[in-house]
Structure 1
């Protein structure tokens, strides 16, 4: 962060990589932010900041199976669009488990946890939000319906039990576009503002707003979006799904998702979290960027809440020397019992291959990092001494079970080999395989905008390229169905039909932007 007499500079996105659907709350000078996590576990990463720019992950909200069981969850299912709020000493996070328990919230005295077991709420499709009114009433505001029938419903609950105190009513139908989602209700200067995304989470994505003297409306809608880049040529697209926050100085800010699309119209990083100041118009509307292009990759703003900056870690190494996994590492679904360990061989991560492999919907032994920059390198030292036939382990660039690239080591016909496999649109192709005599091997995935290169080394200095795969094939723009996530680069082990008897061991996981 650079400070001058005229402005303060920062870079967007403030949370690079697959951290979509941001929601924010403030307690004093401390800000807390949560994001969607879909099929990855633990669910709902939570971050802390004092200046809105430098965010440090302090844990996950949903970190145990009693809160979140997504062990058989398909990609881009699972946890959608959380909202975080704070009221009278308690933090609340409300969200949707789309194929599981539906809409629920959890509570905590400390945002780093522990968080309570889920309290379900009875109504709503996806994207529920909570609003604590001055008179003690608590409202759930949620999306309901599909496509052009999407609308916003609202009802009052008993915040201690989640029980509805009123019937749900339709309070807003938006601007006529499809997928009215991510609604939030605010009370600002005596007026109720209803804000939501419209248009679907791609090119037509936009944030719209209405206001009323009543929490149930009717809402006067501002005719133009308060946030969108849908009509301009710009490196950041798909803007929307915003949440507003007021700083201690009375200044307003918005966090929202956006996508960095490259020159060919795709991006592997998925939907990321951005920050921009909010300007209030003379007639009382909050404006962020309506096709003006003011939301930039490099921002200059007149003010920011002061704090000591936290370092942004685009590079680093996990040495697996601690007793817990670093917070930025995520499992694919709930890990099976006994499938991973940091204590089995101190200083190494042990992964025991399960019957589910990378192309299956099940409990895969996989833990990875969200890819945060287009160009980067991820490497590891793998030791796989097991002689079990068909057991493999390695490093994988994963979009979903139908789009992933991996380089690994396995036993094949009684010999150890290093192999590269490319899976595109559900079709797996063994791109290369070479025999090795060593029981340990260095593996690397190197990426740029066009491709992922799969490399191995026997000494850690001289690298051999085994194969390369198209980056476009791993982008959300290329996958079939929902592509709500971005690429995650992970360490994995797999048994493909049977659980491994012995573990694969990873000495470290290195990442370089």
Structure 2
């Protein structure tokens, strides 16, 4: 097997990757769940260095996340290219279900959704237009048969790309690599060496996550498992675990790679995108080990514009922020935890250890008005360091963990994140940092989504004309000594 790649290639909240190639260009999308804009799209020329192009669903008309529960919304997408057009399929859970959007340029604009029939989740498309194919297109997805037992099956129907709809009979392709298999999902079809390869995930998305493969002479089956399944066994210990949900791509020189998800244990980062080399043995894909040598890229954002990496919780019907002279957040009645759209902007935490800071200019003008720094897994699990009428308050949901008076005027807010340990601090703009409290935040342990870092403001149920002004937002990383993983705080 080939050596491990430097991973993750997309750190932070980048689960369920799907990948395709057009000429020398690679395009990749990931899940986004309850966060807006939906389905981030990335571009690369070497499969290692990726650039965010935008999001496929960046207009409220495309994506209604009203009332969306945590870890619901947009599940695993698939991106494919056919006849000069990109087709992206996904599922809006607890909504209308499967849909496809299309674009001539993956940077957008993408079409409004075309809704597709059928149950389930994790949809995929297969354009069988190679030399051994028949030119037809197929839609596959997973659906639940018994949720308690984790029993699922993979089904398929023909897809008409010109009409963006399904047609014809349904075929059941697969229900797992063995009797009692759990959570057969994430199906992708490929035609390799004249036969059809079905690649699926199995075992659930935790430490039993794996990849299995099956082959068939015809796209509609029957599919038979390849010898030695799973082709990517569960990884329960090590620097990267929970690997699975793989999608294959062939390079221009004929080599194969897989984009897949994995987890670095011991932090709240959750599922990230990794890269594996793939070779073949008797028609069976062989995955190279997944390691991690992730580079550190500090961030300084002065909000000249709002970059594509910032997200809102659910779909905003109108912007509640302005940029150009820092970031100004409107104080609105919505609160984090209301299943609404609070005045919250976040971006993924990309490393287990990081230092986050911002400078806040804000004076509460009425009881309940507050603004500050947010560490958010979802609207049920989060930590907030907020300026209020009483001073600085550290909250875990409704619970006040610490409080300290501060003088009027600008204040810097910060948090040192070391795995699940979060130390919150504050400072005058020209003063030294003072620690407020340390929280062992194991309640931020993710399952489907990941911790995100950002800025928040609310008027706590009452109308307000006030706003909070954040002049900058920084993420830096502790210095590491050779052979050590411990820290030396550079700024806080």
Tell me whether the two structures share a fold, i.e. TM-score over 0.5.
Answer: yes
- Three-state SS of the structure 2 residue aligned to 1:400 is coil
SS in 1 for 2:278: strand
The answer to whether the aligner puts 1:419 opposite 2:393 as a matched pair is yes
**How many corresponding residue pairs?**
466
TM-superposed CA distance for 1:10, in Å, is 4.4
Can you list the C-alpha shifts for 1:348-404, whole angstroms capped at 9, x where unaligned? 211113322122211111111100101101111111134121011101111122211
Aligned counterparts of 1:179 and 1:151: Cα–Cα separation in 2:
8
SS of corresponding position for 1:164: strand
SS at match of 2:172: strand
Query: C-alpha distance in 2, partners of 1:95/1:55?
Result: 22
Q: What is the alpha-carbon distance in structure 2 between the residues aligned to residue 241 and residue 125 of structure 1?
A: 16
Give the CA deviation at 1:8: 8.3
Shift in Å at residue 228 of structure 1? 2.7
Q: How far apart, in 2, do the equivalents of 1:336 and 1:448 lie?
A: 36
Partner of 2:135: 136
2:419 counterpart of 1:449: yes
How much has 1:472 moved relative to structure 2?
Answer: 1.7
Offset from partner CA, 1:131-160 (integer Å, 9 cap, x none): 111223111000011443300000002223
Tell me how far apart the structure 2 counterparts of residues 460 and 336 of structure 1 sit (CA, whole Å).
38
Question: Deviation of residue 56 (structure 1)?
Answer: 0.9
Alignment counterpart, residue 500 of structure 1, candidates 461, 464, 469: 464
Alignment counterpart, residue 214 of structure 1, candidates 200, 218, 238: 218
Given that residues 257 and 278 in structure 2 are in contact (C-alpha distance below 8 angstroms), is that contact kept between their aligned partners in structure 1? yes
Query: What is the aligned partner in structure 2 of residue 360 from structure 1?
Result: 338
Please give the secondary structure, in 1, of the residue aligned with 2:165: coil
Aligned counterparts of 1:374 and 1:234: Cα–Cα separation in 2: 15
- Asked if structure 2 preserves the Cα contact closer than 8 Å seen for 1:352 and 1:499, the reply is no
Separation in 2, partners of 1:470, 1:403: 13
Distance 1:73 1:382 in 2: 30
Match of residue 443 from structure 2:
473
> In structure 1, what is the equivalent of residue 242 of structure 2?
238
Instruction: Label 1:198 to 1:422 Cα distance change in 2 as closer, same or farther (>3 A).
Output: same
Structure-1 residue corresponding to 2:402: 432
| Native 8 Å contact 1:336 1:363 kept in 2 | no
User: Which residues of 2 match residues 394-405 of structure 1 at below 5 A?
Assistant: 394-405=372-383
Shift of 1:338: 4.4
Q: Which residue of 2 aligns with 1:96?
A: 91
CA shift for structure 1 position 298: 4.4
Decide which of 320, 328, 352 is 1:339's aligned counterpart: 320
Q: Indicate which of 240, 253, 259 corresponds to 1:255.
A: 259
Q: CA deviation at 1:111?
A: 0.5
Matched, 1:315 2:298: yes
Is the contact made by 2:4 and 2:291 (CA closer than 8 Å) also made in structure 1?
A: no
Indicate the residue corresponding to 2:483 in structure 1. none
The answer to which of 28-37 and 396-405 deviates more is 396-405
**1:105 equivalent among 93, 100, 111:** 100
Please list, as runs of the form range in 1=range in 2, the aligned pairs for 1:154-193 lying within 5 A after superposition.
154-175=156-177, 176-193=180-197
Which consecutive unaligned segments of at least 5 residues does structure 1 have? 1-6, 300-311, 477-482
CA RMSD of aligned residues (A): 1.7
Alignment partners' CA distance in 2, 1:66 and 1:457: 42
Query: Residue in 2 aligned with 1:51?
Result: 46
Query: Contact 1:73–1:333 (CA<8 Å) still a contact in 2?
Result: yes
Partners in 2 of 1:125 and 1:10 — Cα distance? 33
Report if the CA contact (8 A) 2:13-2:451 is conserved. yes
Which residue pairs with 2:448 in the alignment?
Answer: 484
Which of 286, 292, 295 matches 1:297? 292
CA 1:460–1:22 in 2, change beyond 3 Å: closer, same or farther?
farther
CA distance in 1, matches of 2:5, 2:283: 27
SS at match of 1:156: strand
Cα displacement (A) at 1:9: 7.5
- CA–CA distance in structure 2, aligned partners of residues 9 and 169 of structure 1: 37
Structure 1 residue 419 displacement after superposition: 1.3
Moved more, 498-507 or 33-42: 498-507
- State the Cα deviation string for residues 456-502 of structure 1 (Å, max 9, x = none): 111244111112211322112xxxxxx31110011011122224321
Unaligned runs of 5+ in 2: 478-492
Q: Is the 8 A contact 2:420 2:444 kept in 1?
A: no
Q: Do the aligned partners of 2:151 and 2:181 also contact (CA within 8 Å) in 1?
A: no
How many angstroms apart in 1 are the aligned matches of 2:421 and 2:156?
46
Contact 1:335 1:365 in 2 (8 A): no
1:87 and 2:82 correspond: yes
